[in-house]
């Protein structure tokens, strides 16, 4: 794995860990808050949906970054193309030498 992919995965894991810790802290804090001070369920659902949409966009962006070819893959692809043409040229030259003899 490239360092870019490793750092992207690390950031994604840290993001999920923060989300889980926030949810755990919120669960503990909501037990300690009296019912009169708690957020209405409709408002809480709207907040969670907004946060979930934001996380989905971030996950999609991370997937796009991970699926994008990096410079080593591009250079490697160019190397394969040059190699195939080199072999074709070598075979063509061998064939011409045989016909001259």
Count of the separate structural domains present in the chain = 2
Query: For residue 65, what are the contacts with CB-CB under 8 A and spacing of at least 6?
Result: 4, 8
**Predicted pLDDT at 82:** 97
Note whether 56 and 19 are same-domain residues. Answer: yes
Count how many Cα atoms sit within 13 Å of the Cα of residue 43 in the half-sphere of its side chain.
Answer: 3
Note whether 19 and 55 are same-domain residues. Answer: yes
> In the structure, what pLDDT confidence band is assigned to residue 28 with cuts at 50, 70 and 90?
low
Note whether 23 and 59 are same-domain residues. Answer: yes
Tokens 């709207």 correspond to what residue?
46
Q: Please indicate whether residue 75 or residue 40 has the higher confidence score (pLDDT).
A: 75
Please state, as a whole number, how many other Cβ atoms lie within 10 Å of the Cβ of residue 8: 17
In the chain, the percentage of residues whose pLDDT exceeds 90 is: 40
Mean pLDDT of the chain: 82
pLDDT digit string, tens, across residues 62-101? 999 888 888 899 999 999 999 999 999 999 999 888 888 6
Of 69, 57, 68, the closest CA to residue 15 belongs to 57
């Amino acid at each position: 794995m490239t360092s870019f992919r490793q750092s992207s995965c690390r950031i994604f894991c840290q993001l999920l860990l923060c989300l889980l810790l926030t949810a755990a802290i919120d669960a503990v804090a909501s037990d300690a808050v009296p019912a009169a001070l708690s957020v209405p369920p409709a408002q809480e659902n709207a907040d969670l949906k907004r946060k979930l949409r934001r996380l989905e966009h971030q996950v999609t962006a991370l997937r796009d970054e991970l699926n994008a070819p990096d410079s080593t893959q591009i250079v490697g692809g160019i190397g394969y193309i040059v190699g195939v043409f080199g072999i074709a040229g070598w075979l063509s030259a061998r064939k011409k030498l045989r016909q001259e003899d």
